[in-house]
A = this chain, B = another copy of it.
């Protein structure tokens, strides 16, 4: 049992005594570092940067940081290296949903401070950004950090969804930074959290505080990426876990010969996970939200697409198949958004009557869509409301909705003689079980480099950058390390009459290599069975260093 202190009080770390053999075997695995991080290095600035959009507005929002260059680490001789005599006080915070590898980012920062500075102190803020605001932290020792090396989850210091964004909240963060005499803070999070990290960096800089802020790209959804930040950590592990299970369902479907498995996959805003799992496992049908939106498809279009393939497969003797659906599908369908908006309006002004008179208040298209929905979904839309009285879109089980709509459609087709078989579906949602898996070797190594690099950026006095590790298709030794100006990733959105900075979510690009490869193969996958069972994640052996298809294709491999 390792002991450490939270605000001066002794607390146990993870007890190693309940570790499984696989967990234990992962603890002592040596993490390779990119060669630039193995010896002396210098931090070199690139050219002045701009913004992803509306640079004038971004410049106004970040007067101190806008335009600052990105930085890259170059291997150098000992004379150019940062001083090892320096002693730093660094905080780290986990923000938002878990992603496999977070513990390794922390391990990377910790090891950097141990190996490259002298007498440094590292604090872990507990429970996310709220920990920064409330000054709730634990001082990290090697005994405290060790049991989390290469382990999944965010439980070392836990995470939270609070944001540091109001003047009062910035004030609280300042107080904590001053009280702890922080030289730096590493914010591990997604697009929102990194936007907040940049605002915090701007705020600290504006007040001439010494505390620097560096971000790290985290999200299993894979929607925080750019030219300089090739992927967010956790995406690789989550997709591998989901793909293993999808592959098993494929084997099951082929063995049984009688089920269509409707699989909903986590990832609300973007469909990267669904696309990656499709590239890995080759299902018969895959719905990509971004394509549905671009083609302005209706729910009926999606239903018809699925129904048609099921029908064609039955003619080939296949009465089974696998269908992948992104969690956020209905957010991509304009007519559904319209219906929900109208329902919220109607329900805010009174109850609905049993006889259905209220439906007359719906626009014709919305009325038609409502009648097209399965009864259970209709009831869900009318009955389950959030505390503001709004329809709870997130609670709709899209895979069940589609299954029922396809079933209804097939029954019609059967009556018309267009379909002759029995249809039987099974529903699955793969989500939470993928967020906290043991990180793959890729995520473990990537995160360690992100953390170690973040330490180097803080050591060299950088702020407002996001730790960036590149050349990921090459062996770890050849990976590049640096920091990208967070302002360069930003655009603005107008909310409540004000410009708010945002790092735009990276959506599935219909012209990008991953989607184009998928699109070129899906018709063949639909009618033939090219299922791939990728098997459980392996940690040892050559196949243990596989990189996900999305990243490989985006790298042009």
Q: Which of B20, B155, B429, B532 contacts A534 (CB 8 A)?
A: B20
Q: A471 in the interface, Cβ–Cβ < 8 Å?
A: no
A542 to chain B, nearest CB (A): 8
Alpha-carbon separation in the docked complex, A538 to B540 (Å):
8
A80 at the interface (CB under 8 A from B): no
> Is A438 positioned at the interface, with any CB of B under 8 Å from its CB?
yes
Give every chain B residue within 8 A of A97 (Cβ-Cβ).
256
With a 10 A CB-CB cut-off, give which of A158, A432, A540 has the most chain B CB atoms: A432
Task: Determine, out of A179-187, A245-253, A411-419, A450-458, the stretch whose residues face the partner at the interface.
Answer: A245-253
Min CB gap A544→B, angstroms? 9
Q: From residue 8 to 30 of chain A, which have CB atoms closer than 8 A to chain B?
A: 18-23, 25-26
- Kindly state whether residue A462 has any CB partner on chain B within 8 Å: no
A154-185: contact bitstring with B at CB < 8 Å (1 yes, 0 no)? 11001100000000000000000000000000
- A267 interface contact, C-beta 8 A: no
- Which B residues touch A535, using CB under 8 A? 20, 22-23, 26, 438
Given contact pairs A155-B254, A159-B255, A438 touches B536 in the complex (Cβ within 8 A): yes
User: Do the beta carbons of A251 and B534 come within 8 Å of each other?
Assistant: no
Cα A248 to Cα B238 with chains together (Å):
11
From B21, B98, B251, B543, give the contact of A22 (CB < 8 A): B543
Contact between A153 and B536, CB atoms less than 8 A apart: no
- Residue of B with least CB distance to A22: B535
- Which of A26, A154, A255, A542 has the most chain B CB within a 10 Å cutoff? A255
Taking a contact as CB atoms under 8 Å apart, the answer to whether B248 and A437 are in contact is yes
What is the distance, in angstroms, from A319's C-beta to the closest C-beta of chain B?
12
B contact residues around A433 at 8 Å (CB): 245, 248-249, 252, 428
Considering only residues 90-145 of chain A, those with a C-beta below 8 Å from chain B are: 97-98, 127
Do B533 and A255 touch across chains, with their CB atoms under 8 A apart?
no
**Alpha-carbon gap, A447 to B175, bound state (A):** 64
Given contacts A248-B152, A249-B436, contact A532 B19 (CB under 8 A): yes
Count how many chain A residues have C-beta atoms less than 8 Å from C-beta atoms of the other chain. Answer: 58
With known contacts A248-B434, A255-B155, A426-B432, A532–B20 Cβ distance under 8 A: yes
Do residues A533 and B257 form an inter-chain contact, with CB atoms below 8 A?
no
Q: Is the CB of A533 within 8 A of B254?
A: no
Chain B residues with CB under 8 A of A244: 437, 536
A20: which of B25, B26, B533, B541 is its contact (CB, 8 Å)?
B533
A248 and B436 contact, CB distance less than 8 A: yes
Does any Cβ of B come within 8 Å of A435's Cβ? yes
Cβ-defined contact, B98 with A256, below 8 A: yes
* A272 CB-CB contact with B under 8 Å: no
Least CB distance, A188 to chain B, in whole angstroms? 13
The listed residue with most B CB atoms (<10 A of its CB), out of A241, A429, A438, is A438
> Taking the complex as formed, is A149 at the interface, i.e. its CB lies under 8 A from any CB of chain B?
no
Q: In whole angstroms, what is the CA distance A108 to B70 when docked?
A: 61
Q: With A and B bound together, what is the CA distance between A426 and B251 in angstroms?
A: 27
Contact A257 B22 (CB under 8 A): no
Complex Cα–Cα for A437 and B250 (A): 10
* A255/B436 in contact, CB under 8 A: yes
A387-443 interface with B by 8 A CB criterion: 426, 428-429, 432-438
A-B contact pairs, 5 of them (CB 8 A): A21-B546, A153-B251, A153-B255, A426-B432, A536-B538
Which A residues contact B (CB, under 8 angstroms)? 18-23, 25-26, 97-98, 127, 151-155, 158-159, 241, 244-245, 247-249, 251-252, 254-257, 259, 261, 282, 426, 428-429, 432-438, 530-543, 546
Closest 4 CB pairs of A and B: A22-B535, A153-B251, A21-B543, A251-B436
Given contacts A244-B437, A538-B538, 9 further A-B contacts (CB under 8 A): A18-B282, A23-B534, A151-B251, A153-B251, A153-B252, A248-B434, A251-B436, A252-B432, A536-B537
